[in-house]
Amino acid sequence: MNRYFRELSVAAALAVVLAALAVFAPAFYQPQPLLTLITGQVAPTLVVACGMTLVIVCREIDISVGSSFAICGVCGGLLLSHGVAVAVALPAAIVLGAIMGAFNGALIAGLGLPSIVVTLATMVTWREALRWLRQGVYVNIGGAQWFGLDQAAGQWTMIVVALAILLPLAWATKHLAAGRFVYAVGTDAEAARLAGIRPRLVTFLTFVLIGAFTGLAAMMAAVQSPQVDPTAGTGLELRTIAAVVVGGVSISGGRGNLWGVLAGLLLLSSINPALTYLGVSAYWEKAIQGAIILLAVVADGLRSRKQKH
């Protein structure tokens, strides 16, 4: 069987959905709503999903991304609202995200604690801290919307930024030693150690990276409206993990690539608008998304069984 069977089957499913829309709801392909949907829903999530891919390939998980997303968006937004330049506020949000990622990474790689427990704790703590501090009040960034650009330029900037993360990372995970280390650690940390890789350092760095990506994504999302919502990012961890798993990354580590994740994210993101265009009740949305994820996990399970025999 082709080694990219999973990625190709997700891409095929996506093609089916897009073809169905072209036939039954050509209005979907109007440029304006499509551009708004891609910049609003896909671009920031893709950046976080890139980080999530590395973390899951490394056989870990990070469910705190939604909370750090909200914190980075609010902090970056507060800087912008006080007249701080984008050139300062944006790196500040990325560094803040990286620090929160490093905190997770230090507990997971340094102390050897399970990532699901550590990031569950930070997810709740950061979310509640933000709730306590902001009481749900929006941050007004007004003129800093679209980083001060006009709407069209701002939207294309988001797409370019997302691709500027995806493309080098996709290349690096395949061709750079550092990228292959992540796969090696996720496949067998002990073997990787014997081969001279430092598994704990690799794990730590993947968490720093997902943190930085989350900070960037938070700012990409924050500047798309004049007000930053402090409850933003709720459920982001589920959306990114779903995209990663549907995209063929093995939840037990060591396998998968970013092209599959891109296809998985596009597939899951197209379900919701497709239902609206096809006039299907919103009651089906979660059920269909759940079925796709279940299918992906079952496929993953069957493959790892086959490998054992």
Partner 1 sequence: MKRLLVLSLVATGLLLSGCGKTEPAAAAASGKKLTIAMLPKSKGNAYFLSAAKGAQKAADALGDTLLFDGPTQTDPAKQNEIVEGWINKGVDVIAVAAEDKDALSTALRKAQGKGIKVVSFDADVLPDARTFFVNQATPQGIGYALMDEAARLCDSEGEFAIITASLTAANQNEWKKNIDERLKTYPKMTLVDFRPCDDDKSKAQAEATTLMSAHPNLKLIMAICSPGVPGAAEAVKQAGKTGKVKVIGLGLPNENKAYVHGGVTDSVILWNTEELGALAIQAADALARGTLKPGDKTFKAGDKTYDIVGDNIMLGKPFIFNKDNIDQFDF
Q: Which of residues 211-230 bind partner 1 (CB under 8 A)?
A: 221, 224-227, 229
Nearest in space to 270 (alpha carbons), one of 61, 14, 11, 5: 14
- Between 70 and 169, CB nearer to partner 1: 70
* Site residue total, partner 1 (CB under 8 A): 35
Find residue 139's DSSP bridge partners: 228
25-33, 117-125, 199-207, 210-218 -> range binding partner 1 (CB under 8 A)? 25-33
11-19, 34-42, 99-107, 241-249 -> range binding partner 1 (CB under 8 A)? 34-42
Nearest in space to 47 (alpha carbons), one of 132, 181, 191, 164: 164
The CA distance from 265 to 263, in Å, is 5
Closest distance to partner 1 from the beta carbon of 241 (Å): 16
Query: Is 234 a binder of partner 1 (CB under 8 A)?
Result: yes
Query: Is 60 a binder of partner 1 (CB under 8 A)?
Result: no
In sequence order, which residues have a C-beta less than 8 Å from that of residue 227 and are 6 or more positions away? 138, 139, 140, 141
Residue 170 CB neighbours (<10 A): 18
The CA distance from 184 to 105, in Å, is 18
Answer yes or no: are the C-beta atoms of 167 and 51 closer than 8 Å: no
Query: Is 304 a binder of partner 1 (CB under 8 A)?
Result: no
Tokens 């609010």 locate to: 74
Query: Is 91 a binder of partner 1 (CB under 8 A)?
Result: no
The CA distance from 281 to 23, in Å, is 19
Query: Is 267 a binder of partner 1 (CB under 8 A)?
Result: no
Contact pick of 14, 49, 74, 232 for partner 1 (by CB under 8 A)? 232
- Between 65 and 184, CB nearer to partner 1: 65
In sequence order, which residues have a C-beta less than 8 Å from that of residue 234 and are 6 or more positions away? 66, 70
Contact pick of 180, 272, 288, 299 for partner 1 (by CB under 8 A)? 272
Closest distance to partner 1 from the beta carbon of 41 (Å): 5
- Between 8 and 25, CB nearer to partner 1: 25
Query: Is 83 a binder of partner 1 (CB under 8 A)?
Result: no
The CA distance from 60 to 253, in Å, is 8
Q: Which of residues 150-209 bind partner 1 (CB under 8 A)?
A: 151
- Between 19 and 201, CB nearer to partner 1: 19
Answer yes or no: are the C-beta atoms of 237 and 65 closer than 8 Å: yes
Q: Is 139 helix (H, G, I), strand (E, B) or coil?
A: strand
Q: How far apart are the two ends of the chain, measured CA to CA in Å? A: 16
Query: Is 282 a binder of partner 1 (CB under 8 A)?
Result: yes
In sequence order, which residues have a C-beta less than 8 Å from that of residue 287 and are 6 or more positions away? none
Closest distance to partner 1 from the beta carbon of 197 (Å): 39
User: Contact residues for partner 1 (CB under 8 A)?
Assistant: 25, 27-28, 30, 32-33, 36-37, 40-41, 132, 135, 137-138, 140, 142, 151, 221, 224-227, 229, 231-232, 234-235, 272-273, 276-277, 279, 281-283
